Amino acid sequence: MKAEIITIGTELLLGQIVDTNSQWIAERLAEMGIDLYYKTTVGDNVGRLKEVLEQSVERADLVITTGGLGPTQDDITREVVAEALNRDLIKNEAALEEIKSYFSETGRQMTENNITQSFLPKGSQIISNDNGTAPGFLIDSEEIILASVPGVPLEMKAMISDFIIPYLQEEHKLDKEVIQSRVIKTCGIGESSLEDKIDDILREQTNPTIAPLASQGEVKIRLTAKANSEEQAQQLIAAKEEELKKRIGDYIYGYDDDTLEGVVANLLWEQELTVATAESCTGGLIGDRLTKVPGSSRYFERGVISYSNQAKMDLLGVTAETLEEYGAVSAETAQEMACGIRDRAGVDIGLATTGIAGPGGGTEEKPVGLVYLALATDDGVEVHKKIFKGHRRRVKYLTSQIILNLLRKSLF
Amino acid sequence: MKAEIITIGTELLLGQIVDTNSQWIAERLAEMGIDLYYKTTVGDNVGRLKEVLEQSVERADLVITTGGLGPTQDDITREVVAEALNRDLIKNEAALEEIKSYFSETGRQMTENNITQSFLPKGSQIISNDNGTAPGFLIDSEEIILASVPGVPLEMKAMISDFIIPYLQEEHKLDKEVIQSRVIKTCGIGESSLEDKIDDILREQTNPTIAPLASQGEVKIRLTAKANSEEQAQQLIAAKEEELKKRIGDYIYGYDDDTLEGVVANLLWEQELTVATAESCTGGLIGDRLTKVPGSSRYFERGVISYSNQAKMDLLGVTAETLEEYGAVSAETAQEMACGIRDRAGVDIGLATTGIAGPGGGTEEKPVGLVYLALATDDGVEVHKKIFKGHRRRVKYLTSQIILNLLRKSLF
């Protein structure tokens, strides 16, 4: 099966946004063993979009378009797909119902131009949109399989994962060579140290390929295997993964879509432990991450964002003496914060952060990026000192990453 | 001048990397007033690249290609450009000299296949590469202006900035038409309602163009003007902006790189007001956003993440009666939370959120997505009820967006 992607939107041609959609779709197609031959970006222009569509329909078996499904005048995808395929654009009652119920459920006002979103090329199957107003659609004919989804990444991804991929797999029995990947996620080690540890494995890579990729506060390793079946590809990956685990197992916190907070949540859940946070420099970020996970009320009891010294004393029992003698950014304060929140919340584990996120507030003795992290448990309290480089948001994020990783390691 | 970009590389079609090059080039073209009509991505395949090149040369005045200039067998750009333009591929002595000197300067060993990098289509001007081995080239003929640069972003950017842009400006007397944009950021109104309010302005748009773009919890409006000078373009934008402000001024919170939290921070700062948060369903996200802004300790005193009922009573003084009679997710609880944090922190403004972020925990009476938001000030307390659709992270984010917008509006 030969595929093409068409991304639609003048903002893409003006360079106002980076097209990450087509990369994501390309990856999904590769995983299914579908060959992607071309990606084309075209603006909100009827004539040019029509030409591009006609050419793709001519060349390919499968065309996926993104963008141009909104309610505004420059959203032309529905209309031009209909033209390019010589189909009428007709009101799709199911689509209209979906749009109506989206508005009634969210208590928002539906306007006249939302109705235009229910006009789809004749013969379209509607692709539901749980995250917005624009329904997608799929046409499966002798001539072409064509699917149009919105440009909003969240909406696009849900439609491809939940509808288009299952549809293609079921209706068009895909076989042949498959590509499978697995991402190993590590925390607590830098990219070059990690590469050093697996240098020979990296040099000898063939199938699967092994690609380390550093991102904020973690290093991912992508294993990609080609084989005649999904099972075979997974076996190739599993074998290489075992080899890697022997070298860097301590740093691995998860795989693929795992998040550090999700992994921590599962560990807390399994061990029936509760946690509370006392955040200064992170400002609520750790609480936010711990509560991103559904069901977080089972392990997260409370948090305190003790930004001022007064709050540290009122809510955590940090003493005025400690603050005066060592300062708010100190190992002593971090320790009292972690113990204070643990005691007062009556939880198993107390976490605390205090530091200088910058860009202001640094001194020679206590530079910007200096952070103390503390973890209080039944066994006592451990305090770590870190100095992070970079801007404010990075310091906050790295702090949250390190403390979640400390929490993870304490749960083994 | 009509332009096209062709990005070349099978890794792009496998989704292994995101193409940020074409966005960067697109921005540069827009700044020069060159119209970009298409971007095409194609793999390292002679036949398909040739077709794409021929089509672009036919349609456009200027074609820029990235990628495929390396020394390996799958680097086919030099050869296929020569074929598509019916030119011989000949050894370019200047290019060979550059490659040799790059190797001698970096102390690396030159291999046989590096010599192939010096074979360029006849009539090419070489584009020096200070950052790598692959020279780029430019062909300027009656038929087409075609420039080929490497896919490595650093090398590509240097060639475009240092050679291609000055070349085009000097040799092709671009009448210095410039494109300027301004993004107006709104919150508290959906895309279609907003468009309804400015329907006639949208329909009559010419220069500047006006493009609404919805993203999570906000709608942006991009104004893009073309003119002979930056100043003129800015005047065109300012005039249209005034017109828009009369219709939708209430919803506008900022411009371009402004963030809602940044705007709120400035208002708090100017008015010397302090704020504290009591978060339940948002789990610390509001605190995190308020403390993303440098200097946030001047207005943010503390926050409480009162996830459990016990925490709501302990830290905010919510009464057991209220929790029992109305539940944790209720207008009454939200109100007591906002007043409680305001009183206890001794701040000017107290913010509170309580809701059901999902996916579990919903009932018929209190569905997933139900959120109460409260804002307590000197003037009393206002409570708002919202029902958001979507997944957990979306519910949290939209809640934080709405309450920051309420805070912003309260500061006028």
Chain B residues with CB inside 8 Å of A303's CB? 283-284, 303-305, 307
Per DSSP, the three-state class of A285 is helix
Residue B84 burial (10 A CB sphere; 0-12, 13-18, 19+): buried
φ/ψ region of A244 (left if φ > 0, alpha if ψ in -120 to 50, else beta) reads alpha
B231 min Cα distance to partner chain A (Å)? 20
Q: Who among B14, B29, B282 is closest to A30 (CB)?
A: B14
For residues A317 and B102, which has the higher predicted lDDT (pLDDT)? A317
User: Two tokens at A106?
Assistant: 């969210």
Please, are residues A82 and A69 in contact by the beta-carbon 8 Å criterion? Answer: no
Quick: pLDDT tens for A249-279.
999 999 998 999 999 999 999 999 999 999 9
State the Cα–Cα distance between residues A116 and B300, nearest whole angstrom: 45
How do the domains of chain A map onto residue ranges? 2-171, 178-255, 260-410
ipTM over 0.85: no
Please, are residues B118 and B91 in contact by the beta-carbon 8 Å criterion? Answer: yes
Contact check, Cβ <8 Å, B305/A307: no
Per DSSP, the three-state class of A61 is coil
Please, are residues B329 and B372 in contact by the beta-carbon 8 Å criterion? Answer: yes
CATH number belonging to domain B260-410: 3.90.950.20
User: Two tokens at B83?
Assistant: 């074929």
Chain B residues with CB inside 8 Å of A209's CB? none
Closest by Cα among B36, B51, B35 to B5? B36
Contact check, Cβ <8 Å, A110/B192: yes
Contact check, Cβ <8 Å, A307/B300: yes
Tell me how many residue pairs between chain A and chain B have CB atoms under 8 A apart. Answer: 284
Quick: pLDDT tens for A26-38.
999 988 889 999 9
pLDDT at A120: 96
Chain A: residue nearest B309 by CA?
A301
Contact check, Cβ <8 Å, B394/A131: yes
Contact check, Cβ <8 Å, A308/B297: yes
Whether pLDDT at A399 is above 90: yes
Contact check, Cβ <8 Å, B39/A12: yes
Quick: pLDDT tens for A239-253.
999 999 999 999 999
Q: Who among B13, B288, B390 is closest to A285 (CB)?
A: B288
Residue A213 CB neighbours (<10 A): 12
In the predicted model, what is the mean pLDDT of residues A300-329? 97
Per DSSP, the three-state class of A246 is helix
Closest by Cα among B71, B75, B74, B54 to B63? B54
State the Cα–Cα distance between residues A407 and A261, nearest whole angstrom: 10
Half-sphere CA count of A393, side-chain side, radius 13 A: 5
B224 min Cα distance to partner chain A (Å)? 10
B18 min Cα distance to partner chain A (Å)? 6
Share of chain B above pLDDT 90, in %: 77
Contact check, Cβ <8 Å, A23/B19: yes
Chain A: residue nearest B17 by CA?
A23
Residue A33, CA distances (Å) to A80, A279, A338, B408 in order:
29, 47, 51, 50
Chain B: residue nearest A103 by CA?
B389
Contact check, Cβ <8 Å, A282/B288: yes
> To the nearest whole number, what is the mean pLDDT of chain B?
93
Contact check, Cβ <8 Å, A294/B202: no
Chain B residues with CB inside 8 Å of A359's CB? 294
Contact check, Cβ <8 Å, A152/B214: yes
pLDDT at B328: 97
Chain A residues with CB inside 8 Å of B355's CB? none
Please, are residues B222 and B183 in contact by the beta-carbon 8 Å criterion? Answer: yes
Contact check, Cβ <8 Å, A112/B296: no
Contact check, Cβ <8 Å, A12/B26: yes
Whether pLDDT at A72 is above 90: no
Whether pLDDT at B61 is above 90: yes
pLDDT at B238: 97
Q: Who among A43, A52, A288 is closest to B283 (CB)?
A: A288
A244 min Cα distance to partner chain B (Å)? 21
Contact check, Cβ <8 Å, B287/A290: no
Contact check, Cβ <8 Å, A113/B283: no
pLDDT at B105: 80
State the Cα–Cα distance between residues A209 and A54, nearest whole angstrom: 37
Residue A144 CB neighbours (<10 A): 18
Please, are residues B370 and B387 in contact by the beta-carbon 8 Å criterion? Answer: yes
Q: Who among A108, A284, A392 is closest to B284 (CB)?
A: A284
Under the banding of pLDDT at 50, 70 and 90, the label for residue A175 is: low
Chain B residues with CB inside 8 Å of A111's CB? 192-193, 195-196
Chain A: residue nearest B24 by CA?
A15
Q: Who among A43, A114, A284 is closest to B291 (CB)?
A: A284
State the Cα–Cα distance between residues B254 and B149, nearest whole angstrom: 38
pLDDT at A176: 59
Please, are residues A223 and A184 in contact by the beta-carbon 8 Å criterion? Answer: yes
φ/ψ (deg, to 5) at A223:
-100, 125
Angle between helices B46-59 and B77-84 (to 10 degrees): 50
Whether pLDDT at B338 is above 90: yes
Please, are residues A371 and A395 in contact by the beta-carbon 8 Å criterion? Answer: yes
A36 min Cα distance to partner chain B (Å)? 6
Whether pLDDT at A177 is above 80: no
Cβ partners under 8 Å of residue A290, min gap 6: A261, A264, A265, A275, A277, A296, A299, A300, A303, A404, B283, B284
Q: Who among B16, B216, B302 is closest to A308 (CB)?
A: B302
Q: Who among A10, A26, A315 is closest to B14 (CB)?
A: A26
Q: Who among A11, A38, A106 is closest to B388 (CB)?
A: A106
> To the nearest whole number, what is the mean pLDDT of chain A?
93
Quick: pLDDT tens for A13-69.
999 889 999 999 999 998 888 999 999 999 999 999 999 999 999 999 999 999 999
Please, are residues A395 and A372 in contact by the beta-carbon 8 Å criterion? Answer: no
- Is the domain covering B178-255 a CATH 1.20.1440.130 domain? no
Quick: pLDDT tens for A180-216.
889 999 999 887 788 889 989 988 888 998 888 777 8
CATH number belonging to domain A2-171: 3.40.980.10
Q: Which of B97-106, B161-170, B362-371, B373-382 has the least mean pLDDT?
A: B97-106
In the predicted model, what is the mean pLDDT of residues B227-250? 94
Whether pLDDT at A112 is above 90: no
